[in-house]
A = this chain, B = another copy of it.
Amino acid sequence: MAKVPSPLDCACFNTRKTARVLGQVYDRALEPSGLKNTQFTALAVADAYDGISITDLSKAMEIERTTLTRNLKLLERDGLVKVGPGADGRSKTVILTAKGKRRLDGALPLWRQAHERMLREFGAKRWKSVQKELDAMRDRLHP
């Protein structure tokens, strides 16, 4: 008697709703910085890989390239990044402006606080394990 799978156990649904909740939590923590969680991540990754191309950044964030293009547009509008010509006539490079760097630096302590609270309330080891499982999940199911 195999149980019929319930849509409530859908992997998509469950990760999505968790992402929604975490998004709210982190957005509230980041609020004083004026950054949303996605923007914070984009800035952080762009800062880590300085002069990264849009496509590479989208791969690093595992986000649709065309989505990232639009997200970057907003960051550019606010003067946080500069999207300039790449090595190639095709590609473009994403660079944090001084303002962007300051903004990121201002947001980092807020994020760290939220992160540490998460580690405290959920468990650091536990999170590490979940993170690894999510990594594996993406690896196996990648579209």
Contact = CB atoms under 8 A, between A and B. Distances in A.
A15 to B, nearest CB: 4
Interface string A120-137: 011000110111011111
A12 B38 CA distance: 9
B17 A138 contact: yes
A1 interface: no
A118 B122 CA distance: 26
A48 to B, nearest CB: 8
A111 B8 CA distance: 11
A134 B22 CA distance: 11
Interface stretch (A24-32, A73-81, A86-94): A24-32
A19 B15 contact: yes
- How many copies of this chain? 2
Given A12-B26, A25-B143, A26-B12, A116 B5 contact: yes
A122 B143 contact: no
Given A7-B44, A11-B127, 14 more contacts: A5-B112, A11-B118, A12-B41, A14-B131, A14-B135, A15-B18, A16-B19, A17-B63, A20-B64, A21-B141, A25-B141, A126-B133, A130-B134, A133-B133
Residue of A15, A25, A129 with most chain B CB atoms under a 10 A cut-off: A15
